[in-house]
Structure 1
Amino acid sequence: MKVQNFYENLSTLHVGTMDNRCWYVPKQDGRESQILLSGDDWKFAWYPSVEEVPEHFWEKDLEKEGFINMEVPSCWQMKGFGQKQYTNVRYPIPYDPPYVPNENPSGAYVKDFTLTEKEAGERQFLYFEGVDSCFYVWINSEFVGYSQVSHSPSEFEITGKTKAGSNRMAVLVLKWCDGTYLEDQDKLRFSGIFRDVELVLRPQKFVHDFTVQTPVAEDGRAEVTVRFDRVEGDLEINCTLTDAEGKEIGRAVSNGENIAIPVAAPVLWNAEQPYRYTLKLQAGTETIEQKVGIRWISVEEGKILINGKQVKFRGVNRHDSNPYTGAAVTREDVIRDLQLMKESNVNAIRTSHYPNAPYFPELCSEYGFYMIAEADVESHGVVTLYTNDGHDCMGYIAQDDAWAESILDRQKRNVIRDKNQSAVIFWSLGNESGYGGNFEDAGRWVKAYDPTRLLHYEASFWNSAGYHNDVSMLDVMSRMYADTEWVKEYCEDRRMRKPFIQCEFIHAMGNGPGDIHDYMELMYKYDKFCGGFVWEWCDHATWEGKAADGRDIFHYGGDAGEFPHDGNFCMDGLVYPDRRPHTGLLEWKNEIRPVHAAGKDLAAGTVELWNVQDFADLADTVQIRYEIKKEGTLLAEGEIREITCPAHEKV
């Protein structure tokens, strides 16, 4: 099949797509006004290259062409098509940007859907939550557009291309594109439509994009402000704010201008007490509801403060992964991860190294987690290149103007999608991609667009010969695997003013995680050491059935016969692929426990409790039971009731 070669063109990243917008699900007449197109009734055929895909494949006899039923979302490697592969640093293809191999595996998808007369009269938007790596779309044989950036949404208006009755959508997905060079994350590599697809139905006039912020004054009063970034048509927008019990706090009316709703005595959001308000935007027949956590973020003398209180981030790095379905995860998968993290005292998550599923930040805001929300950028593979002059290659893409638009585009898609989620404390420019002007410019854009949050990028620590790093737009010093002596030196150096984060540390592979206690002692000792994120949450593997003795079989790198691969380096999590806890998780859970106990005066029967939570009083979170034994014989037992101890204090 001949398609216009957008996939090897750095100046064409998206064709026919809408402007980016925040994530929400609009409602009309009290019901979600979108049609979920996901399901197991898609038709699918896999081809070794784009050229082997039949022309106008959607018009063919699909059964004769070998099309089968395919579930969407899914990863085609997990359905028996193409090569499974795990690689860490090395690119899965030869380094020759913007070009990719001619043998570029491609998946052809066909989906039939029906619209009523009423639905056909609405404005219609196709919303793809995630497609790896790039894709072309047709509706009723008419070309709609093209897009890339695997882990961010792409939205197309298809109004006028559909009709009442039956309609046919065709999607052609390519395994590789020029974006592949920016998606070299340490993970199993999967392809296809791996997140949900929706047809969003909207009135002729509607709110397309808006930004919610929650400034808090020194006297404790707050505002919920709304900036309407894009409104389709002239319309009146009625804005209402209610508390968690549904009581109205205030309202305002906008014709597209910014509004502010005052909150005299706000209940502030934090990960330990994730209180949220509800903002309702009523525009004509459409309603958008946005949950709002009122909170503010600041840096003071090397400390990170939320709502004026110092916070320590006791976190993990997390991929979207499932051993049975690959990168295609469900809301239930995500909730299971978050529940296990909560039970293990984890309070922060870094989305390594791309935006997780679009509902993920919403769930983190609801359940109470702090997020480092990372853009879909990693070009780690350039470090394997060599030059005759000994030039450091890590900054190749970071310092090449040809990649500036691609890198900035990925920052915009990350920030704009999740900007209204209270869980997001940091934006991160990506991972292990070197440093240069492309990231400096991207960082300046992020800080200008959203000055209310902190900006993170660990790879700014990477220095290229002859290049002077400008890190003025970054709010924290971030390192991976810095040893304890380096951490001490940084924290005690008065010239180093930025808070310090270990965005990856205590590698949880084999006998790991290691040195947890030593690092946590330093974190509690030094204000400047504000947090660490374990690499990583979950082992990565694919489930391959049952062994003769009934045990599950999991494959990691090399087990599928792929090249290149990095062996079992993907088995480095705190939990097994099926989420059974490793002993490492139990150790991490204990080291980040919310209260520490130590003997004060055992003869007098006193014990000192230290509340290492950042907001909650022990009275609200802890029950204390005790036993006293002598050589195994129980002498006494009981409960200590009504223990009051504020955060960071001892009693």
Structure 2
Amino acid sequence: MLKQQFHQNPEILHVGTTPHRAYFIPCATETEALGGRREDSSRFTLLDGLWDFAWFDSAEDLPENPSDCTFDAAIPVPSCWQAQGYDHQHYTNINYPFPFDPPYVPHDNPCGVYRRTFDLAPQDGRRYFLNFEGVDSCFYLWLNGEFVGYSQVSHSTSEFDLTGRLKNGANTLVAAVLKWCDGSYLEDQDKFRMSGIFDDVYLLERPENRLADFFIRTEFSDGLKSAAISVETEFEGTPQPVSFQLYAPDGTLLHAQTDTSFRAKIADPVLWNAENPQQYTLLMECNGEFIAQKTGLRQVEISDGIFKINGKPVKFRGVNRHSSDPQTGYTISRAQAETDLRLMKEHNINAIRTAHYPNSPWFNELCSEYGFYVIGESDIESHGSSMVYVKSPEPSIFLNVSNDLETERMRLQAIDNVCYFARDPSYRNAVLDRTRANIKRDKNRSAVVIWSLGNESGFGENFEAAAAWIKSHDPGRPVHYEGSIYQHSGHTNDLGNIDFYSEMYAAPEDIDRYYSEGGVSGRNGAKKPFVLCEYSHAMGNSNGDLEDYFQTFERHPGSCGGFVWEWCDHAPARADGKPGYGGDFGDTPNDGNFCVDGLVSPDRVPHSGLKELKNVNRPARARLSDGQIRITNYLDFTDLQDYLSISWRYSENGETVSEGRLKTACAPAQSAVLPISLPQPSDGKLCLLDLEYTLDRATALLPQGHSLGFDQIDLTRRFDTGPFMPPRRAPETWQVRENGRYLELASPVFAYTFDRQKGIFSRLKKDGRDLIAEPLDFNIWRAPTDNDRLVRVLWQNAGYRQAYSRAYETAYEVQGGTVVIRAKTGIVATSRARILTLDTEYRIAPDGSISLAVHGEKAPELPYLPRFGLRFFLPDAGAEVGYCGYGSGESYEDKHHAAKLGFYRTTAAANHTDYLKPQENGSHYGTRFADTPDFTLSAAKPFSFSLSPYTQEALTDTAHGYELTESGSAVLCADYRMSGIGTNSCGPNLNDKYRFNGTSFDWHFEIRMK
């Protein structure tokens, strides 16, 4: 057993470590420092690589000095040991993976012991500092068999002064890493729980007397036309003169002075912002050591309840980002991070919330260079305390204030549990330490514009102290913390140092309500800005509310936007190499696929939600106004003529009539008229004006010509499907024969069978060949999306999953060669009341075409329908189908801004959108017609259309996409209406306007035979 037992004592957080400081790498020369690569510094020795490794199922089994372990394996550093075959992957969102018994963790606490030997020739008068940039959850450290220290806080740097302990020649480090410690109660983030030395380890050589820390501050005057930049310094040992050199973004030397601190004025400063991330360079030389630090000059403020950068209101078009990779877990290289940042830039994302811990220390350096606004969040989340048992009548008890005293008492007790660590005095130092670690490390990063205290940990005295410390240390940045909305029953929250009103997953209507009711006052009496630190939960086929949020953010000047949850799906590789989610690794408790909730796949393939987000966040928007095309600039700092070009194309029925390319001057937040002259749209044709916005010049991450988004203006006066419908065949004479439950309709070419028990056709044949492989049926079920996870219970209870049609009465007659079949039909399910009552009329024309008129009635007490329409099984699974609608990607009533109205062709395989957990996908909103090899479908009003290799039953019942079995047919669904997608997997209910609700509807639909 370890001699030291610090890991269950929240009063002992670090032993033998240096104080938290800004991240920087000292160099031996000016050239090394200005080169910007820490690997090029001769004062930097990277210790990454294969380390000897010993595994223990329990830290209780460790020898008193782990240097005495038998090391019989090797493991890469950095890495997560679960990704190397040790322990197992474990996904849990809220529940702690161990008993709630703070500060204690289980005796069976897995442990990995690491050993690394390196050669060094220590020099007199030099000091040597060992840095661990990320270790989960805590570790004990030995050098050459001698105990050096202990540290925790997984996503912060732990630095040890090894001077005097190092010897000339071989030196051996041993680190015992424990899976859990008392700090694990504060690291209950929604993610796979991984362990080990997951970030870089290196040695720094420094002078005896040295610059220990520095803080670059900027003050502005004369309306931002003048800036004063100052550098506060801290020294270890005797303060030393520092040679300061300040370079402009273009490399011009602006100021040089030698002193223990620095201050200089800059006239007409180049201001940093995410659209133009230009930075100055400060070079410092002290006692033979060179340190370079880039800094962006920008003013961050909240004025009149509006969040501003450089005096301009800014909207966050942001995402929450975990460090996550299916192969490497938390271990993320710069190249991997740059892939994320490039994809974000490609999709018009301008802000990142580091969820819910600081990312690698160089990550915000990249954000500063490439241009992102960052909410830098401390490594604190303790929502597992909310799962401590409280007698509660309903899950909504946290949110709903009740007039019932007993219910209100239980609600307050539940909130008190949420606030456990926010108030526990024994964890006060831990909360403060994690706050200081975050702010101290990243304080010189231009990209960090807001500090966040952490996530979902309630509120109380500990967070009040943390917020007060931030304000005393860095008053130039505002403080965010969503947990401040929780009011403990035994404590009155002091929110004086919290600068935002922050919520998660509030509906657009909630933002409207916040402003209509006066909001929450800040220090100056103005409303606090409203920020959605999490919204539009991107789980599976999701993000069906992005346009509504965009419009709401724009409606309120004080609303500073939000951060989509989240960036990437979390799905580590299983033993068979395929991606897995909670429960796939024998992990318990687990939260299933709730970790598969990103805008991109684990391998960074964009989901349709990211494409939707991109176009919703396009930098410019065009609209038709009084016969003119007006464009509005949604950039915050850049004139459109300096940023993008506009290509336009006017088409009729898909054929180009006129086109052009132009640039236009349009200042931020202003509008301008585009010089586009259009002809009078032709009646009966689909007349569209398409505008595409492309980047004018290359940036650090994007090439010139990159598409920034598009607009499509529908100028159609009336669309006639006639030219796209098959010509009517020569009329045939129908013979109608009653055959028990069936009506048999026959002509020289066609043979149709109508099922009088079901009230719909069971067979359609042409020239003896089946046109459908299975009977037609009315269709109300869809494979539930992740956002249907709550309403699907209501759908299933109402019988929608097992619904089928049954006819109550049918009759037919022949009218001038047309067979007219009328049926009164119910959509019913075993053990449930009737769902729909349908009055249907089929008109089978002499040319074989079938016209359907449906009047539907739904019981008002039933939940809204997933869909209503017809399902066809096309015999040719590879059949190509053309359609006119929103494509080419999937689109829905509330999710079609990444799609264009147009003419497309697809197959079932190509139209399928793969999700790790199968669900409804591939629908096309606004379809005017769908053309199969044998018939064409059209309706009086645009409908929804989809084509899939899989039945909705298979999609419903299969756990992983790679386990799906094809139906053998192309499954075509033509829907009168499909309910919207929304984001209710963790967000507001689907808005009423996107629900297929109501008690009656009428649909007119035609199957035109070829």
Query: Are residues 104 and 34 of structure 1, via their aligned partners in 2, closer, same or farther at CA, if it must alter by over 3 Å?
Result: farther
What does residue 438 of structure 1 align with?
462
Give the Cα–Cα distance (whole angstroms) in 1 for the partners of residues 532 and 66 of structure 2.
Answer: 50
> Structure 1 stretches of 5 or more lacking a match?
547-551
Residue in structure 2 matching 1:370, options 373, 394, 400: 373
1:535 partnered with 2:544: no
Is residue 291 of structure 1 aligned with residue 294 of structure 2?
A: yes
Aligned to 1:522: 552
CA distance in 2, matches of 1:554, 1:630: 45
Alpha-carbon distance between aligned partners in 2 of 1:57 and 1:306, rounded to the nearest angstrom: 51
- 1:421 corresponds to 2:445: yes
- Tell me, yes or no, if the aligned pair for 2:26 and 2:44 is still in contact at 8 Å: no
The answer to whether 1:46 aligns with 2:55 is yes
State the partner residue of 1:158.
162
Q: Name the structure 2 match of 1:573.
A: 598
What are the within-5 Å matches in structure 2 for residues 293-372 of structure 1?
Answer: 293-372=296-375
Give the equivalent residue in structure 2 for 1:549.
Answer: none
Deviations 1:1-59 (A, max 9, x none): 32311001111111011011100111013441444444333101110111222343434
Q: Which amino acid aligns with 2:151?
A: S
1:246 matched residue in structure 2: 251
Q: Any residues of structure 2 matched to 1:155-554 within 5 Å, and which? A: 155-219=159-223, 220-255=225-260, 258-387=261-390, 390=410, 391-392=413-414, 393-494=417-518, 496=520, 497-544=527-574, 553-554=578-579
How far apart in 2 are the matches of 1:598 and 1:47?
A: 65
CA deviation vs aligned residue, 1:154-193 (integer Å, no higher than 9, x gap): 1010001112211111111000000000000000000000
Residues 31-42 of structure 1: pairs in structure 2 closer than 5 A? 31=32, 32-42=41-51
Aligned-residue offset at 1:259: 2.2
Match of 2:395 in 1: none
Secondary structure of 1:83 counterpart: coil
Q: CA deviation at 1:431?
A: 0.3
Please tell me whether residue 87 in structure 1 is matched to residue 92 in structure 2: yes
C-alpha separation in 2, matches of 1:137 and 1:537: 35
Whole-Å Cα distance in 1 between the matches of residues 423 and 210 of structure 2?
40
Higher relative contact order (CA 8 A, sep 6+): 1
Per the TM alignment, residue 142 of structure 1 is displaced from its structure 2 partner at its CA by 1.4
Contact 1:38 1:71 in 2 (8 A): no
Deviations 1:522-552 (A, max 9, x none): 1111101111100000000102366xxxxx6
Partner Cα separation in structure 1 for residue 483 and residue 51 of structure 2: 41
Superposed CA offset, 1:494-531 (max 9, x none): 35310000000011112311311111101111101111
Q: Deviations over 1:248-299 (max 9, x none)?
A: 11122223xx321211110000000001000011112100000010001111
Taking the aligned partners of 1:601 and 1:636, their CA distance within structure 2 comes to 21
Residue of structure 2 equivalent to 1:102: 107
Query: What's 1:5 paired with?
Result: 5
One-letter amino acid of the counterpart of residue 23, structure 1: Y
1:611 equivalent to 2:636? Answer no
Q: Distance in 2 between matches of 1:209 and 1:93?
A: 38
Residues 574, 585 of structure 1: 8 Å contact kept: yes
Tell me the equivalent position of 1:76. Answer: 81
- Does structure 1 residue 132 correspond to structure 2 residue 133? no
Cα distance in 2 between the residues matched to 1:629 and 1:97: 67
Q: Secondary structure at the match of 2:339?
A: helix
Please state whether the residue corresponding to 2:106 is helix, strand or coil.
coil
Amino acid in the other structure paired with 1:43? D
Q: CA deviation at 1:387?
A: 4.9
AA aligned to 2:90 is Q
On the 8 A contact 2:327/2:572 being kept in 1, the answer is: yes
Measure the CA separation in 2 of the matches of 1:492 and 1:231: 54
Offset, 1:330:
0.6
1:300 Cα shift? 1.4
2:119 maps to 1:114: yes
The TM-score normalised by the length of structure 2 is 0.62
Whichever residue aligns with residue 553 of structure 2, its letter is M
Instruction: Give the partner amino acid of 2:103.
Output: P
Q: What SS class does the counterpart of residue 578 from structure 1 fall into?
A: coil
> Are the aligned partners of 1:370 and 1:423 in contact in 2 as well (CA < 8 Å)?
yes
Q: Which amino acid is 1:82 matched to?
A: D
The corresponding residue for 1:58 is 67
Aligned length: 635
Provide the residue aligned with 2:38 in structure 1.
none
The residue type paired with residue 19 of structure 2 is D
Structure 1 residues 126 and 66 mapped into 2: Cα distance closer, same or farther (>3 Å)?
A: closer
Distance 1:43 1:67 in 2: 7
Whether 1:141 and 2:150 are equivalent positions in the alignment is no
Query: What secondary structure is seen at the aligned counterpart in 2 of 1:542?
Result: coil
Task: Describe the SS at the equivalent of 2:671.
Answer: coil
Displacement of 1:573 in angstroms is: 0.5
Conserved? CA contact 2:419–2:459, under 8 Å: yes
Q: Secondary structure at the match of 1:623?
A: strand
Residues 1:646 and 2:670 are matched in the alignment: no
Q: Counterpart of 2:631 in structure 1: which amino acid? A: L
1:457 deviates by 0.1
Residue type at the aligned position of 1:113: F
CA contact (8 A) 1:252 1:261 kept: no
Do the aligned residues in 2 keep the contact of 1:507 with 1:514 (CA within 8 Å)?
Answer: no
Compute the TM-score of the two structures, normalised by the length of structure 1.
Answer: 0.95
1:321 deviation in Å?
Answer: 0.6
SS of the equivalent of 1:398 reads helix
What amino acid is aligned across from residue 602 of structure 2 in structure 1?
P
Whether contact under 8 Å (1:208, 1:232) holds in the other structure is no
**Deviation of the 1:572 alpha carbon:** 0.5
Q: Offset at 1:467? A: 2.5
Q: Deviations over 1:557-580 (max 9, x none)?
A: 010001111000000000000000
Paired letter, 2:200: D
What 5-or-longer segments of structure 2 have no aligned partner?
Answer: 33-40, 392-408, 521-526, 673-1010
CA distance in 2, matches of 1:646, 1:3: 66
Per-residue CA deviation, residues 365-423 of structure 1 (Å, 9 max, x unaligned), is: 00000011000000000001125784231111111111111101100000000000010
